[in-house]
């Protein structure tokens, strides 16, 4: 069976490395399906779930990873995904995410108008909202 070699990383961690049958990327313009023999390209990633379809000999099934931002390079039946934020959907702990969101919201509310840290805490709250929306 034809396959794609996939390497999926975020700044602090390798999330997945190995062969897949296919994958679907979440880009800024919508979903992009990638199968063996796909043309080479580089695309910007948006927000959404990347779905990796595992090979039947590896047990089949899907690995779903929530992402926000980054890039993917497709070349010679290899896909390298460099995500700004990424978390496997089966690894989301809603109680931990809610606590993190509460802390980020409190920090955001404590800032003076025009504080340069506002964007950081707004992004943190938004990421937590995405995680909670996609928790399995």
Q: What is the mean pLDDT of the chain?
A: 96
d(CA 35, CA 49) in angstroms, rounded, equals 17
Computed on alpha carbons and rounded to an integer, the radius of gyration of the chain in Å comes to 17
Cα gap 43→25, rounded to integer Å:
9
52-96: per-residue pLDDT in tens? Answer: 999 999 889 999 999 999 999 999 999 999 999 999 999 999 999
What is the total residue count of the chain?
A: 136
| pLDDT score at 4 | 97
| pTM for this predicted structure | 0.92
pLDDT in tens, 35-45: 999 999 999 99
pLDDT in tens, 47-60: 999 999 999 998 89
Asked whether the predicted pLDDT for residue 120 surpasses 90, the reply is yes
State whether residue 43 is helix, strand or coil. strand
Span 125-135, pLDDT tens digits: 999 999 999 99
Cβ(28)–Cβ(45) below 8 Å: yes
pLDDT of residue 58: 87
Say if residues 85 and 67 touch (Cβ distance below 8 Å).
yes
């Amino acid at each position: 069976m034809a396959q794609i070699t996939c390497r999926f990383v975020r700044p602090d961690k390798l999330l997945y490395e190995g062969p897949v049958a296919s994958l679907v990327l979440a880009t800024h313009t919508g979903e992009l399906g990638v199968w063996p023999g796909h043309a080479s390209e580089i695309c910007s990633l948006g927000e959404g779930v990347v779905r990796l379809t595992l090979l039947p000999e590896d047990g089949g099934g899907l690995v779903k990873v929530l992402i926000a931002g980054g890039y993917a390079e497709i070349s010679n039946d290899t896909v390298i995904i460099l995500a700004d934020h990424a978390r496997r959907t089966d690894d989301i702990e809603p109680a931990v995410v809610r606590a993190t969101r509460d802390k980020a919201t409190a920090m955001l509310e404590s800032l003076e108008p025009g504080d340069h840290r506002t964007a950081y805490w707004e992004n943190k709250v938004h990421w937590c909202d995405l995680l909670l929306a996609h928790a399995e």
